[in-house]
Chains A and B, each alone.
Chain A
Amino acid sequence: MNILRHIDPADGVAVLTFDRPGSSANVLDEAVLRELDEHLAVLEATPGLRGVLLRGAKPTIFIAGADLHALAEGGLSPARLAPVIDLGHAVFERLARLPVPSVAAIHGACLGGGLELALACDWRAASDSAATKLGLPETGLGILPAWGGCVRLPPLIGLPAALSLIVSGRRLAAAQAARAGLVDAVAHEEYLEAAARRLLARGKRPAPRRRLVHLAPLRAFVALRARVAVAARTHGHYPAPPRAVEVCVAALGKSHEAGFALEKAALLELAATSAARHLMGIFLGRERIKKSVADPRPAPPRVAAVVGAGVMGAGIAWWLAAHRVPVRLQDVSPEALGRGLETIRRLAAEAVRHRALTPVEGRAALDRIIPIDADTPLRGVDWVIEAAAEKLDVKRAIFRRLEARVAPDAILATNTSALSIDAIADGLAHPGRVVGLHFFNPVHRMPLVEIVRGPRTAAAAVDSARRLVLALDKLPVVARDRPGFLVNRVLIPGLVEAVHLFREGVPVAEIDRALEDFGLPMGPLRLADEVGLDIASHVARDLAERLPHLAAPGDTLERLIAHGWLGKKSGRGFYTHPTRGKAKPNPGLRALRLAPENPASRAAAPDRAEIVDCVVLVMVNEAARCLDEGVVDDADDLDLAMVLGTGWAPFRGGPLHHADALGAAPLVARLDALAAGGRPHLEPCAALRARAAQGRTFFPASPKTP
């Protein structure tokens, strides 16, 4: 039983409490919908009823949405989906048409189908708790709200606001939702039901007022603007947001039944797209990782120490503190600590500005960070994360001194992105406690953390790291201690390839635009600027030295660096980065007169397809090589890490999914052709050749429409 019904004899209000047994979340599946339907049937026949109140019994979740696992297992086929869509439409409509008023008392996450259920009520009251979030994230999964969300939301809050909410998938806090008109009352958790009952006293909700903006000409203009905004963001790769715009606009002013038919048709169409399949796969992959630890409750450290207060150290210290972990922050001088603390204060101010934390929570998080020096004993510290300079001797010295200062069971992690974990652990009494914990920059935004397992790293340390990362609301992927680990190992060759193309004479903007159109979140040269050309050059050089099959970056980056062009941080790199306004290709590059490095080997300038293939396929090739080397355990982890760590074309599912989509044989043929055309490092790896020869794919064939 998922829903409890209780009719309060005092005021004649029926309370339906959603409480999925054995789970911390309420979700909607066929069984829950049927149960709700039965309750509604009973209520329709109950005499003297004054109103219906919906509430959740979970501490942080009202209703998280439809049960995606159940849906995905069915392969998203129309035969499976259509009846579920119809059922949701019918039950929610039955709720909406109850003769008595209804209200949703929302505390905790109210997302997707959960919000669509709440929208079917006459009124909505929300608690002002930080756990309360309202949103329709469906388009992020390649589909659209199809249980009446596209039909009910626009009349309620107006078409522009509704489109923005549906297309962005944004989650609103209670106060924001109230301002938007999505909820009718905001109250403290303790007073939520009382507030909801007061709303019931208003009776059935009157018909929504007519909005000027819904008149045909204005509506067309709003729709046009939404379409243009969507196109600019998606490069045409994501079919769901524009489709959702169409449905919302078309359904406005029509009957519910007509609107529901539009939703259903759109959903069935979208669910069949590869984008939806991949986005759903990524969502399920994230869920799988979250459940990957034996102990489901992640254990944060009692006290953590962060060594190094630079950009990464400060970012990590802040993220720990914001997740209620007391932090000791160490650096070599008060000045270095002072700079780190100022960085952290900026992060705190940003978190407060974005309402991720209240001002009091923000200050409490700052208070958790205690600056220390290298002589302070680390008694009581059970996690140390080192984020000092990327120099082996520096790190070794730090670890040797750390080992003397910490308790014997403390885990020592390094945030290195390039050095070998095993080399850092060398010479320690207990090398088994050393593990890599590779956070990405900026720490507070990047969802992925690579856990790097050295040959001597103890299993317990890896497990502990996994739990720490999950406790910090990040997603861990375990990689082996190979050069570049996983993400940089796959990403950097693409970046180097882009630099080569630039050297061949292809304009900066052309390279980046081609790859953004392919689906990378940022062109590779722009990315190099963001990372810093000095760092990019160092990492690329280091990788090429340790992995001879990779192309060396040449002297291009060095020549830019010699001009003081380090990328964004120096204001100039491949682009100029004004403090305000958009970055533009650096006009000074022409004056550098970088001669093509091997002009004789190629006849024609590379066209757009070749630009994309060079950069993308070198990454695909490297990803396949990593998988065969065992850098990660499986293809799922690999693609997930690339999507989460670099934003690698989520709608394509990641580099190995892309390889499957291309087909191994055509992929190998294309790589062979590129290699023969003067790019020997694009030679397909053995892993790809074998798959091409045997006709194997990286992933089992996805369940297709029967």
Chain B
Amino acid sequence: MSPVAYIAAGIRTPFAKAGGALRGCDAVELCRAALASLLARTGLDPAELDEVVVGCVGQPAEAANLARVAALRAGVPEAVPAFTVQRNCASGLEAVTQAADRVIAGRGGAFLVAGVESMSGYPLHFGRRAADKFAALAKARGPRARLAALARFRPADFAPRSALLLGLTDPVCGLGMGQTAELLAREWQIDREAQDAFALRSHERATAARDFLAGEITPVFPAGFPPSTHDDGVRPEQSLTALGRLRPVFDRAQGTVTAGNASQLTDGAVALLVLGEEALRRSGLEPLGRVVAHTYAGCDPARMGLGPLHAVARLAARGGLELDDADVIELNEAFAAQVLACRAAARSADFARAQLHRSRPLGDFPDEKLNVNGGAIALGHPVGASGARLVLTALRELKRRAARRALVTLCVGGGQGAALWLEAP
């Protein structure tokens, strides 16, 4: 029998709206807080770790290997190596699967894993043209040369480019992430009302699950700010009327995707402990669950929102589990339109044949299994952290239901899908 990878424990920071409660923390600090809190709670001696893996989309320039910096600052000994992974919105999940793969391959038994994003902390860039001129200025010798170098600057050179906006645009198909959602909405006839209703559902469920979600949160104490103790993107008072008043963002004329029915820009970090059998026994921890199978699949970048279906189908084709086998499903809510398009396409036999190379439709995402504690529309989507958050929430929900299997799946900017099957321990 091949080794088993357990998710032994997990914790996360509150998810806070970008520019809000956690703006006093950079990505390293958020990640450090989550890692340190998990180590303290589990009592695990960090010297027993084999490696630290962190997923992060926008790594801060001042912490080139964020995982290493955060791990050392969280008290992980210098002898334990660390690396950072990037797979856009699935970066947090990538960290989990990297660790699980190593355990299953027998290459280590104890991994500290995290996903983190500080969307407050995204920098503004100078363009390449401006950068070249700065370089020329730095090289210039003598006042005359320096003056000449200065004279080459134009006001436009100083217009900053937002790293956040750049990151949310697909450089291959040229579409922004919101525009890919608009495309899906048109193709699968997801109207504005359906999207808003789904967004409302996310807020309602997250509101109802507030106490449940509190169980996975550790407070964060940003210097000079009040402590952050709970997810602040959830709106208990959200209504269809309020959602209906919002203007479309990505296609102002005919669009349907608004700030209200898309996921939020958020700061947050999630830490998980991935252990093999032996390390688990030594730790004395009661595991949350174990990893069964996972995959990543590629698809049309312009329709990246359907990525989950490609990934789930791929696992099924390997002789694995079907959508119906899931007791709990966490499908990341990048956009309400995208989740609903996934639902529609999963029921479509045509889509199954043409895109998934299978004879029958993928199946259903039943309401009572899908995102039962709300999703990124209400809780927010700190891109590098979300994948790890879905694992944590799914396993806790599985435990609460005393059910067997959970599916975690995400669409990934750039045209990919991620899927991970988990089981009760």
Contacts and interface: CB of A to CB of B under 8 A. Distances in A.
Interface in A336-365: 337-338, 341-342, 345, 363-364
B206 to A, nearest CB: 20
Nearest to A336: B227
Given A376-B41, A380-B43, A368 B227 contact: no
B223 interface: yes
Contacts of A379: 42-43
Interface stretch (B32-40, B175-183, B242-250, B304-312): B32-40
Interface in A308-332: 326, 328
A377 B41 contact: yes
Interface residues of B, number: 19
B229 to A, nearest CB: 5
B297 interface: no
Interface in B65-110: 73-75
Nearest to B230: A334
Q: Is the interface of B mostly helix, strand, loop or mixed?
A: loop
Contacts of B32: 367
Contact of A370 (B37, B226, B227, B229): B37
B298 interface: no
A696 to B, nearest CB: 56
B229 A376 contact: no
B41 to A, nearest CB: 5
Interface in B193-246: 219, 221, 223-224, 226-227, 229
Given A334-B219, A338-B221, A328 B227 contact: no
B251 interface: no
Interface string B24-51: 0000000010001101111101000000
A372 interface: yes
A210 B45 CA distance: 63
B36 A334 contact: no
Contact of A372 (B40, B45, B227): B40
A370 B40 contact: yes
Given A337-B227, A372-B41, A377-B43, A364 B73 contact: yes
B219 A376 contact: no
Nearest to B229: A334
Contacts of B40: 328, 370, 372, 376
A551 B219 CA distance: 48
B223 A345 contact: yes
A342 B222 CA distance: 9
A372 B229 CA distance: 13
Given A326-B75, A337-B219, A337-B221, A380 B45 contact: yes
B75 A334 contact: no
B45 A338 contact: no
A298 interface: no
A363 B45 CA distance: 22
Contacts of B36: 367, 370
A335 interface: yes
A328 B221 CA distance: 14
Contacts of B226: 335, 338
Contacts of B73: 363-364, 367
Contacts of A372: 37, 40-41
B31 to A, nearest CB: 12
A338 B222 CA distance: 9
A363 B224 CA distance: 15
Contacts of A328: 40
A97 B255 CA distance: 91
Q: Could you say which of B36, B73, B226 has the most chain A C-beta atoms within 10 Å of its C-beta?
A: B36
Contacts of A363: 73
A365 to B, nearest CB: 11
A554 interface: no
Interface residues of A, number: 21
B12 to A, nearest CB: 15
A371 interface: yes
B48 to A, nearest CB: 11
Contact of B227 (A335, A364, A376, A378): A335
Contacts of A368: 75
A142 to B, nearest CB: 44
Contacts of A334: 219, 221, 227, 229
Contacts of A376: 40-41
A333 B75 CA distance: 24
Nearest to A335: B227
A367 B74 contact: yes
B213 to A, nearest CB: 16
Nearest to B75: A326
B344 to A, nearest CB: 43
Nearest to A377: B43
A338 B75 contact: no
A212 B266 CA distance: 64
Contacts of B39: 370
A342 B39 CA distance: 22
A371 B221 contact: yes
Given A335-B227, A338-B226, A364-B73, A371 B43 contact: no
A372 B226 CA distance: 16
B424 to A, nearest CB: 23
Contacts of A377: 41, 43
Contacts of A371: 37, 219, 221
A334 B229 CA distance: 7
A368 B33 CA distance: 11
A341 B41 contact: no
Contacts of B42: 379
A334 B223 CA distance: 13
A534 B160 CA distance: 57
A341 B36 CA distance: 15
B41 A338 contact: no
Nearest to B70: A367
Contacts of B37: 370-372
Contacts of A367: 32, 36, 73-75
Interface in A371-397: 371-372, 376-380
A328 B36 CA distance: 10
A378 B41 CA distance: 8
Interface string B237-278: 000000000000000000000000000000000000000000
Given A328-B40, A372-B40, A341 B74 contact: no
A196 to B, nearest CB: 32
A338 B43 contact: no
Contacts of A341: 221, 223
A308 to B, nearest CB: 16
A338 B74 contact: no
A379 B40 CA distance: 8
Contacts of B75: 326, 367-368, 370
Interface in A168-183: none
Nearest to B283: A379
B159 to A, nearest CB: 34
Interface in A94-128: none
List 10 tightest A-B contacts by C-beta distance, closest first: A379-B43, A338-B227, A334-B227, A334-B219, A370-B40, A367-B73, A370-B36, A341-B221, A334-B229, A380-B43
Interface of B: 32, 36-37, 39-43, 45, 73-75, 219, 221, 223-224, 226-227, 229
21 contacts: A328-B40, A334-B219, A334-B221, A334-B229, A335-B226, A335-B227, A337-B227, A338-B221, A341-B221, A342-B224, A345-B223, A364-B73, A367-B32, A367-B36, A370-B39, A370-B40, A370-B75, A372-B40, A379-B43, A380-B43, A380-B45
Given A371-B221, A372-B37, 12 more contacts: A337-B221, A341-B221, A367-B74, A370-B36, A370-B39, A372-B40, A372-B41, A376-B40, A377-B43, A379-B43, A380-B43, A380-B45
